[in-house]
Amino acid sequence: MSRMLYTTEDLNGTVIPASAYILWPSSPLRVPVANSSSNNTQWPMVAWAHGTSGGLSPCAPSNYRSLQYHFQVPFTLALQGYVVVAPDYAGLGVGKLPNGDTIGHPWAAWPAQANDIANAIKAARNAFPQFLDANGPFVAMGHSQGAAAVWAFAERQVEKPVPGYKGAVAFAPPTGIIEQVRRARSDYAANKTQLWTNAFLSFQTPLIKGVTAAYPSLNLSGMTELGRDRWVNVQEAVQGCLPTKQVASIGAPSVEMAYRNWTEQPTVLEFENRTATGRKPFKGPFLIMSGDSDSITDINNLKETVRDTCDNFDTKGVQESLEFVEYTGQNHFPVIQASQSKWFNWARERFFSSANPDPGCSFEVVKGFRGEEALNSLFPNFVLETAGRGDSWEYSL
């Protein structure tokens, strides 16, 4: 494993420092190539974009002994011969500029995290040119926050292509996150709780913090006194990450952590417009997978965004491939394992086959075997079996 510091750009294009890690396989795969700057084979790379780990500097996955996603993705990829390049994202890992100014993490600013992915790839190639060719093949892959970042990265490839791109994989990407907060508050007011409602209500404080990181003038103004107290005097005070967030909100109803109409502030509306993914041109092939029992991501909203994106194919003559696969009975994290045979084979084909999927959109539903008897949980099942339900927070350590 290697760790590196590199420079990236925030939402406004300002150059800032960030951190990342690289997992090196013991037995790297070798992809034959006709045109290479150094060799006739290249090591395949997966640019891995992690899901939410927290919103403060200590929350970088490279600080976790398990790298946050352990055998769910990064360890497994490295064991199969892939080089894994994984950005922590700006504001996670490197928390201050040389002059002492804080680098905030702009959670939900997907294009900014897309910049982090792109620049981590470039930095890894520059740091290890003897192993990673400047034009070497790579696939971008991410889960949850990272899936939205990967979607933004696929859109970024249209205007700012990173050489060697073979496609993108997104597990359970959230779409229209601020609009989903509006829907969650509306559902709560109408006493109509959906599977994902409570999750989006709980996202309000980290989302306000994320907008503030991109637009400091907001200054957490969407938080109520209760929300600000729990964020500033608990979460920030102990520099806590995702597990701490769950503890910090005990006894504080999520709906009371933010003002009712905070999403309508002009700054928030501008953030929403600048960071939206979907319904735009992208570079594929693109594989999106999600579970119909996801308690974090609203799969219906996701499917609507995918269909709208596909409709643009016809109106704008886009010649790209987008494949959407729905897994029945699967929640936010378990869908990664449920779909493993799919995404492993898909990625391998991108590296070792000269043919790409046919352009256009395809939709598939995969019905889980004996799903009615399976344990459906938010966190990875195998960790819950080991740690016990009361210790589920340990999944990220």
Domains and CATH numbers, the chain: 2-176+278-384 (3.40.50.1820), 177-274 (no CATH)
Q: For residues 366 and 364, give the distance between their C-alpha atoms in angstroms, rounded to a whole number.
A: 7
Residue 146: the pLDDT is 98
Cβ atoms of 144 and 51 within 8 Å: the answer is: yes
One-letter identity of residue 336:
I
Q: For residues 180 and 88, give the distance between their C-alpha atoms in angstroms, rounded to a whole number.
A: 25
Residue 383: the pLDDT is 52
One-letter identity of residue 180:
Q
User: Minimal CA–CA distance to 275: which of 211, 216, 221?
Assistant: 211
Cβ atoms of 52 and 145 within 8 Å: the answer is: yes
Alpha-helical regions (H) of the chain = 74-79, 110-127, 145-159, 177-189, 197-202, 204-214, 225-230, 242-248, 266-275, 299-316, 334-338, 340-352, 381-387
Question: Which two three-digit tokens encode residue 255?
Answer: 């709906």
User: Minimal CA–CA distance to 377: which of 344, 336, 332, 338?
Assistant: 332
Using CA atoms, how far residue 202 sits from 79, 217, 244, 250, 256, in Å, is: 36, 23, 13, 11, 10
Per the listing, tokens 């590199």 go with: 6
pLDDT digits (tens, 9 = 90+) for 100-144: 999 999 999 999 999 999 999 999 999 999 999 999 999 999 999
pLDDT lower than 70: segments of the chain = 34-39, 314-316, 371-376, 378-397
User: Minimal CA–CA distance to 114: which of 18, 212, 11?
Assistant: 11
Residue 277: the pLDDT is 97
Q: For residues 72 and 337, give the distance between their C-alpha atoms in angstroms, rounded to a whole number.
A: 7
Residue 182: the pLDDT is 96
Using CA atoms, how far residue 147 sits from 10, 218, 297, 338, in Å, is: 18, 26, 11, 16
In angstroms, how far apart are the furthest CA atoms of the chain? 63
One-letter identity of residue 13:
G
Can you give the pTM of this predicted structure?
A: 0.93
With b for 16 or more beta-carbon neighbours within 10 A and e for fewer, the 63-78 pattern comes to: bbebbbbbebbbebbb
Residue 384: the pLDDT is 44
Averaged pLDDT score across all residues of the chain: 91
